[in-house]
Amino acid sequence: MKIARDLNEVEFDRKSAVTVGTFDGVHLGHRQIINEVNKVKEDKELRSVVITFDPHPQIVLRNKAKDIKLLNTTEEKLDHFRELDIDLVYIINFTKEFSQTHAVDFYKNYLINGVGLSDLVLGYDHMFGKNREGNFETLKELSNEYDFEVHKIDEFAPGGEHVSSTDIRHALETGDIPKASRLLGERYSITGTVVHGHKKGRELGYPTANIELDSHFKLIPRLGIYAVQAELEGKRYFGMMSIGYNPTVTDEKQLRIEVHIFDFDENVYGKKIKINLLEYLREEKKFDSLDELIKEMNSDKEKTLSIIEKLKNN
């Protein structure tokens, strides 16, 4: 898969099946669009192209950019496109200046005369250009003038369940991990680097890896305790994760993400780690004593082991 961040890096090819979007989460709805791109690619012997944006448009356009929470980092998104067998990903640098580009100018300059265009595949709710002025009527006129085909993908709602990045964010923020997993088509994950923490977990019999996230725009799910699967140096392990402020052991108001990996005792400081969420176990609590906390952690472990057993049997 080729990745281009400037139009000069893109080889013009009229025989291209193209889609455009932010694709936050690369969820099941997005995958319907990308699957159609690949189908058109195979049927017509074309090149498959995804055009996306970095940073996410909302980071640039919203007043409180720090409040933006995304399901994917750009690197995670690229990993998905690679898995979905896309030939070219063109990442447009989204700026306030770019946001003023009119719809027709965008499609003429970047797709028709830029990347090259035979077929354009878009979701049913796609709007584009300055103030989202462009729609499928605009595209119909352009396609007649410049001889390309537009494929409009209907809403994907498996079992009547709406699929959108907003729905997935809400599910994660409320601890509904099964729903988030269903709509994503996979486990929601967070990635980061293992850093030094206060080492209180080791004293309690539950040593943890403290995680510093790769992006501060990455959505952190509901505070509390989770059953998780960790990926570290190409290997997978089960464990438990705490997202919160550790009120029983410290008064610091610093949000911490800590993972206890079962049957694991290696030095992993400075190493990359990926955490896949399996299930939300409970809210974070402040206990009256460390003994009560340890008792609850033992219970969390039993619940997690039960969840793992069910997964292995399915």
Q: List the chain domain ranges.
A: 2-160, 188-313
The answer to whether 193 and 211 have CB atoms below 8 angstroms apart is yes
End-to-end Cα, the chain, rounded Å: 34
Q: Which fold, 2-160?
A: Rossmann fold (3.40.50)
Residues that are catalytic: 258
Give the tens place of pLDDT for each residue, 78-117.
999 999 999 999 999 999 999 999 999 999 999 999 999 9
Q: Which fold, 188-313?
A: Elongation Factor Tu (Ef-tu); domain 3 (2.40.30)
> Which residue matches tokens 């919203």?
62
CA distance 135 to 141: 10
**pTM exceeds 0.85:** yes
Whether 211 has a pLDDT exceeding 70, the answer reads yes
Residue 181: φ, ψ to 5°:
-65, -40
Q: Using DSSP, state whether 21 is helix, strand or coil.
A: coil
Read off the amino acid at residue 276: N
The answer to whether 259 and 228 have CB atoms below 8 angstroms apart is yes
Give the tens place of pLDDT for each residue, 132-158.
888 898 999 999 999 999 999 999 999
Write the Ramachandran bin of 109: left for phi over 0, alpha for psi from -120 to 50, otherwise beta.
Answer: alpha
Whether 218 has a pLDDT exceeding 80, the answer reads yes
